[in-house]
Structure 1
Amino acid sequence: MKFISYNNTSFKKTTYYKRLPENEREVFDILSSVFHFKVNNYVLEHLIDWETVPNDPIYKLIFPRKEMLQPTDYKTLLLLHQSGLDEKTLFQFVQKVKKKMYPEVKHAETSIPKVNGVRIRGMYSNFETIVSLFPDPMAKTCHSYCSYCFRWIMFNNKEAQQNSSYTDPNEPVEYLRAHPEITDVLFTGADPLVLKAKTLQKYIDPVLDIESVKVIRISSKSLAWWPFRFTTDKDADELLKLFKYIQSRGKHLNFCAHFTHVRELENDVVKEAIQRIRDTGTVIRCQGPIVEGINDTPKDWSALWNTQIALGMVPYYMFIEADHNSESCFRIPLAKALQIFQEAQKKTTGLARTVRGPVFMNDLHRTLLDGIVTVNDQRYFALKSLQAPPNMVGEGTIKLIPYSETTKDAGDLIALFSKEQEARSTTVDIL
């Protein structure tokens, strides 16, 4: 299958756009002027059930929702569109709306690697033993864009990409050699596997020479959005040879696959792609967020985990959105997320107990929503810090916050687990 990509303009020329209900075309026209949109022919032809649009889960996963904007902003944009204004005239208001939507992604000072006091761009030491690397080509794009992705501000933004990525493959080497406690290197982006195999190897090779680095991680949505990357793409075989080569250098290779719905695993081509990756000796661990209206039932997650196990993959994380986006249409109440996770595990093979969740993503502390406890007749959510940034306290500790059936927000998780918070906290601590 030849890869064909569509953006907000070219998609309007397809038969799929014409098949959308009239109100959905209106929503698409308005929101695609604010949010970046990208989809490919595989997703359109094989993953979306067009008879059930707009309720189809993959459609919701790709196409922006009306609820992503504040009602007043959406209404204003609708009136502006209906008035017939061109895109240039709309640009100023659209930019104001975008600014409201910018996610707030926090980084601890200790998470920003420096050499001789100078920051290394495109490198983040989120936790004590792992760094995330953002080589410039990997930060540019994906095979398709997820509607809930908080990294949307990077797409088509050269300034943002340059400020948060690097171009010299040897850029991380000095820092990694100076910090032998770092054993894991994560290549992420956007998506590393939009790159050709030769380009990908150019950035991975220098890291392989560092003895203290034991694990290479590659985080990608490509198995779901474009499985032909591993089967019939021109350099598919070359990419799989690279996977074998990494392991021949004495490194463990972890392919961190992003799956949100079981339908992404039901096509023969994705099954073939998974098998080809596994035949290289690569371990595939699966993660994804729980998203309102897409996979927010126990049935969704038990089906996803059981299928992953059947295909030889390892369920790894169920993420829950932290409060980084000003909208909240993707998040569900914490109590519901916990209930879904617990019920789904009951209906899933015991081999899927490897999965951790619900876990807050995109915060400095990787925090597990571990359960509900009662203390002095009061109910609390139990939150456990699974990992913390270098030189920050709190890892392994448990904090309790007041229980609520409706809250979607755990508050400031960074402050909750900080040393200062320990001294003045009114929450209940369990040590």
Structure 2
Amino acid sequence: MKFISYNNNSFKKTEYYTRLPEKEREVFDILSSVFHFKVNTYVLEHLINWDAIPNDPIYKLIFPRKEMLPITDYKALQLLYQSGLEEKTLMPFIQKVKKKMYPEVKHCETSIPKVDGVRVRGMYSNFGTIVSLFPDPMAKTCHSYCSYCFRWIMFNNKEAQQNSSYKDPQEPVAFLKEHPEISDVLFTGADPLVLKAKTLREYIDPILEIDSVKVIRISSKSLAWWPFRFTTDQDADELLALFKYIQSRGKHLNLCAHFTHPVELENEAVKQAIQRIRATGTVIRCQGPLVEGINDTPEDWSTLWNKQITLGMVPYYMFIEADHNSESCFRIPLAKALQIFQEAQKKTTGLARTVRGPVFMNDLHRTLLDGVVTINNERFFVLKSLQAPPNTFGEGTIKLIPYSDTTKNAGNLIELFSESPSAIDQLV
């Protein structure tokens, strides 16, 4: 299958745009001026059920919806578009709306790698034993864009890309050699696997020379959005050879595959791609977010995990939104998220108990929503810090926050998991 991608302008020239209901075309025209949009032929032809628009889950996953904006901003944009003004006249207001939607990205000073007191660009030491690497080509794009992705501000933003990525493949080496406690390196982006295999190897090769690095991780949604990357792309065989080469150097290779909905695993193309990857010895661990209106039932997740197990993959994380995104329409109430996770596990093979969840994915502490307890006739959510930034406190500790059926936000997880006494300490 030939890879053809469409942005907000070129998509309007396709037959699929004309198949959208009139109201959906208006929503697309308005919101694609604020949020970046990208879709490819495989997603359009094989993943979206066009007879189920606008309720199809993959359609919701790709196409922006009006709930992503505050209602006042959406209505204002709607009136401006209906007035017939040219887009260049609308642009100042569009930019103002877009800026309001920028995600709030927290940083911990100890998580920013430095060599001789100078920050190393394109590196982030999320936790004590792992660093995330952002080589410049990997930070630029994906095969398609997820509507809920908080990294959308990076796309088509050269300044942001330059400030948060690196070009020289040797850039991370000095820091990694100074920190032998770091065993895992995660290549992420946007999506590393949009790159040619030759370019990908240029950035991975220097890391393979570092004895203390035992694990290479590659985070990608390519299996869901473009499985032909591993089967019929011109350098698909070269990419799989690279996977074997990494392991021949004594490293464990983990592909962190991003799946959101079971339909992403139903096509024969993705099944073939998974088989080819597994044949190299690469372990595929699966993660994805719990998203309102897209995969917010226990059946969605039990089906997803069972399919992953059947195809030889490892369910890894169910993520929930912390507080980066202003688009709160994606968030699930914490109580509902916990109920979905627990009910889904009951319907899933025991082999899927490898999955951790629900886990907050967008704060510095990797935090597990572990359950609900009642103390002195009061109910609390139980939060456990699974991992914390380097040289900080809190990892492995448990905190309580007041229970509510409607709350969608656990608050500032960095402050919560500080050295101060926990809610448990104060109550017992």
Residue type of the alignment partner of 2:271: K
1:111-150 pair list within 5 angstroms:
111-150=111-150
Instruction: State the alpha-carbon separation in 2 of the partners of residues 120 and 323 from structure 1.
Output: 26
Instruction: State the alpha-carbon separation in 2 of the partners of residues 151 and 428 from structure 1.
Output: 37
1:264 matched to 2:283: no
Q: Which runs of 5+ in 1 are unaligned?
A: none
Partner SS, residue 28 of structure 2: helix
* Deviations, residues 195-231 of structure 1 (Å, cap 9, x unaligned): 0000000000000000000000000000000000000
Name the residue aligned to 1:167.
Answer: 167
Residue type of the alignment partner of 1:49: N
Instruction: State the alpha-carbon separation in 2 of the partners of residues 190 and 179 from structure 1.
Output: 26
Instruction: State the alpha-carbon separation in 2 of the partners of residues 113 and 53 from structure 1.
Output: 46
Name the residue aligned to 2:156.
Answer: 156
* Deviations, residues 138-163 of structure 1 (Å, cap 9, x unaligned): 00000000000000000000000000
Contact 1:400–1:429 (Cα < 8 Å) also in 2: no
1:227 matched to 2:210: no
Instruction: State the alpha-carbon separation in 1 of the partners of residues 326 and 232 from structure 2.
Output: 40
Instruction: State the alpha-carbon separation in 2 of the partners of residues 251 and 22 from structure 1.
Output: 53
Residue type of the alignment partner of 2:151: R
* Deviations, residues 318-376 of structure 1 (Å, cap 9, x unaligned): 00011111220000100000000000000000000000000000110000000000111
Contact 2:285–2:313 (Cα < 8 Å) also in 1: yes
Instruction: State the alpha-carbon separation in 2 of the partners of residues 85 and 233 from structure 1.
Output: 43
Q: Which runs of 5+ in 2 are unaligned?
A: none
Contact 2:401–2:423 (Cα < 8 Å) also in 1: no
Instruction: State the alpha-carbon separation in 2 of the partners of residues 199 and 91 from structure 1.
Output: 36
Name the residue aligned to 1:377.
Answer: 377
Instruction: State the alpha-carbon separation in 2 of the partners of residues 429 and 394 from structure 1.
Output: 16
1:347 matched to 2:308: no
Residue type of the alignment partner of 1:209: E
1:104 matched to 2:97: no
Q: How far is 1:427 from its partner? A: 6.4
Partner SS, residue 244 of structure 1: helix
Instruction: State the alpha-carbon separation in 2 of the partners of residues 427 and 83 from structure 1.
Output: 57
* Deviations, residues 215-254 of structure 1 (Å, cap 9, x unaligned): 0000000000000000000000000000000000000000
Partner SS, residue 302 of structure 1: helix
Q: More displaced, 287-296 or 324-333?
A: 324-333
Contact 2:48–2:59 (Cα < 8 Å) also in 1: yes
Name the residue aligned to 1:338.
Answer: 338
Partner SS, residue 182 of structure 1: coil
Instruction: State the alpha-carbon separation in 2 of the partners of residues 325 and 44 from structure 1.
Output: 26
Instruction: State the alpha-carbon separation in 1 of the partners of residues 4 and 120 from structure 2.
Output: 35
Residue type of the alignment partner of 1:280: T
Residue type of the alignment partner of 1:91: M
Instruction: State the alpha-carbon separation in 2 of the partners of residues 41 and 358 from structure 1.
Output: 32
Name the residue aligned to 1:22.
Answer: 22
Q: How far is 1:85 from its partner? A: 1.3
Contact 2:316–2:355 (Cα < 8 Å) also in 1: yes
Q: How far is 1:411 from its partner? A: 0.7
* Deviations, residues 157-214 of structure 1 (Å, cap 9, x unaligned): 0000000000000000000000000000000000000000000000000000000000
Partner SS, residue 411 of structure 1: coil
Name the residue aligned to 2:64.
Answer: 64
1:270-289 pair list within 5 angstroms:
270-289=270-289
Instruction: State the alpha-carbon separation in 1 of the partners of residues 418 and 9 from structure 2.
Output: 46
Partner SS, residue 8 of structure 2: coil
Instruction: State the alpha-carbon separation in 1 of the partners of residues 268 and 66 from structure 2.
Output: 33
User: Over aligned residue pairs, what C-alpha RMSD do you find?
Assistant: 1.0
Instruction: State the alpha-carbon separation in 1 of the partners of residues 129 and 110 from structure 2.
Output: 13
Alpha-carbon spacing, 1:427–1:409, altered in 2? closer, same or farther (3 Å):
farther
Instruction: State the alpha-carbon separation in 1 of the partners of residues 362 and 213 from structure 2.
Output: 24
1:1-16 pair list within 5 angstroms:
1-16=1-16
Residue type of the alignment partner of 1:8: N
Instruction: State the alpha-carbon separation in 1 of the partners of residues 152 and 396 from structure 2.
Output: 32
Q: How far is 1:430 from its partner? A: 9.0
Extract structure 1 runs of 4+ deviating beyond 4 A: 425-431
Instruction: State the alpha-carbon separation in 2 of the partners of residues 171 and 278 from structure 1.
Output: 31
1:291 matched to 2:288: no
Name the residue aligned to 1:407.
Answer: 407
Contact 1:401–1:428 (Cα < 8 Å) also in 2: no
Residue type of the alignment partner of 2:341: F
Contact 2:399–2:423 (Cα < 8 Å) also in 1: no
Partner SS, residue 51 of structure 1: helix
Q: How far is 1:90 from its partner? A: 1.1
Name the residue aligned to 1:203.
Answer: 203
Name the residue aligned to 1:85.
Answer: 85
Residue type of the alignment partner of 2:246: I
Residue type of the alignment partner of 1:341: F
Instruction: State the alpha-carbon separation in 2 of the partners of residues 232 and 428 from structure 1.
Output: 58
Residue type of the alignment partner of 2:320: I
The total of aligned residue pairs comes to 428
TM-score (norm 2): 0.99
Name the residue aligned to 1:238.
Answer: 238
Q: Percent identity?
A: 84
Q: How far is 1:426 from its partner? A: 5.5
Q: How far is 1:399 from its partner? A: 0.2
Contact 1:398–1:429 (Cα < 8 Å) also in 2: no
Contact 2:400–2:423 (Cα < 8 Å) also in 1: no
Contact 2:246–2:253 (Cα < 8 Å) also in 1: yes
Name the residue aligned to 1:393.
Answer: 393
Instruction: State the alpha-carbon separation in 2 of the partners of residues 332 and 36 from structure 1.
Output: 23
